Amino acid sequence: MVRPARRASATRRHGRRRPHPPRRAPGRHTRRDRRPPRPRPRLRRRPRGQRDAGHHRPVRVDAGPRHRRHTVARQRSRSRRGDTAVTAVPQPGRVARLSYFFPAHNEEANLRPLVDEALATLPALADRWEIVIVDDGSRDTTPAIADELAAANPGLVRAVHHPTNLGYGAALRSGLGAARYDLVAFTDGDRQFRVADLSRLLERLAAPDHPDVVVGYRIRRADPVVRAVYARLYRLANRIFFGLTIRDVDCACKLFRREALDGLRVESGGAFFSAELLIKLHASGRTLAEVGIPHYPRTAGSPTGAKPSVVWRAVRDFWSLRLRLWAAPKRALGRGVPILEPEAATS
């Protein structure tokens, strides 16, 4: 039998035979850590800010999420270094009218810098604007400084005073009720937020879905460990018992459409005020949106949110609302003090 001629192998095409690699024994293999490393291709790095040679590619003002991630990373590094410089965020445009307020309790060291920051920033955010200082029964020179700032800036700065310390929720109720313009924003008086970052909330409010409320969440919380632990447990409890999926309920950087607050009633006057407000807004059919906000360390004054009396009052109000919602939901949602009628406040 004549065998057919086989095709010349690749090792004999050029007139010489190349040796075959040695065969491994059955069941043997080369360990991964002993294999020679594969050479990785070296990519040519172009100058930063250039797409092609000779063509500059500037960063767009309306850049997408990738640019925002880099911006957030830079602001995180600044917060770690303790940089308290005002950081402006690109904004899509100005709004017509904006009311900005902040509650203050024994914040004499933070009051003037915060008002000066707001006076320098708000003209870039709104055509018409106002600043409302809510003094919640301070025992230091906060009331006198607030009146002095209001007298020095008539028509732009107003002061609202509580004769005694009524609580954080009562101060927020007074600020929301004293606001005169269509959009109402607030931060705390401890300067752990920057007024310039309100542009992030305004940008989200102008999104196509047109939310009624924009709630900020702290990107990197600059608070003691005890307060951070309380916040995690508090967020989990609100999610389980009220179905509130907001990731940072007590973030003191929020923006409201004033019409969304019309007819709304909130019973709590303490730290549970923000959660109850969001729960009832959501139950009334209002849309809530979220946006990340940088958080900075407190540089003056002392926090009061972790005091046992404040925590106990919040727990009491929490379970009071939960039990009423189980017993009579409609009646519980209509219970409380109207938001647009501040209680026990004098201008």
For residues 303 and 227, the answer to whether their CB atoms sit within 8 Å is yes
Please report whether residue 127 resides in a domain: yes
pLDDT over threshold 60, residue 303: yes
Tens of pLDDT along 257-266?
999 999 999 9
Q: Is the pLDDT of residue 286 over 90?
A: yes
CATH number for the domain including 207?
Answer: 3.90.550.10
Convert the pLDDT of each residue in 188-236 to its tens digit. Answer: 999 999 999 999 999 999 999 999 999 999 998 877 787 788 888 889 9
Q: How confident is the model at residue 28 (pLDDT cuts 50, 70, 90)?
A: low
- Is residue 57 a part of any domain in this protein? no
Indicate whether 132 pLDDT > 70: yes
C-alpha angle with apex 275: 272 to 281, nearest 5 degrees? 135
Residue 232 confidence (pLDDT): 87
Q: Which residue shows structure tokens 């102008």? A: 206
User: Looking at the domain assignment, is residue 180 inside a domain?
Assistant: yes
pLDDT at 243 over 70: yes
CB count in 10 Å sphere of residue 309: 10
Average pLDDT over residues 66-79: 48
Q: With respect to residue 133, please indicate whether it lies within any of the assigned structural domains.
A: yes
Q: Answer yes or no: is 41 within a domain.
A: no
Range of the domain at 245: 67-338
* Cα(50)–Cα(281) distance, integer angstroms: 47
Residue 239 is assigned to a structural domain of this protein: yes
Q: Is residue 81 part of a domain?
A: yes
pLDDT average, residue stretch 17-36: 60
Mean of all residue pLDDT scores within the chain: 81
User: In the prediction, which pLDDT does 23 show?
Assistant: 60
- Report if residue 22 sits inside a domain: no
Q: Determine contact, residues 177/262, Cβ cutoff 8 Å.
A: no
The sign of the torsion formed by the CA atoms of 216, 86, 126, 134 equals positive
Give tens-digit pLDDT for 76-126: 454 444 444 444 444 455 899 999 999 999 999 999 999 999 999 999 999
Provide the domain count of the chain: 1
Alpha-carbon gap, residue 92 to 161, rounded angstroms? 35
211 vs 61 pLDDT, higher one: 211
pLDDT attached to residue 228 = 80
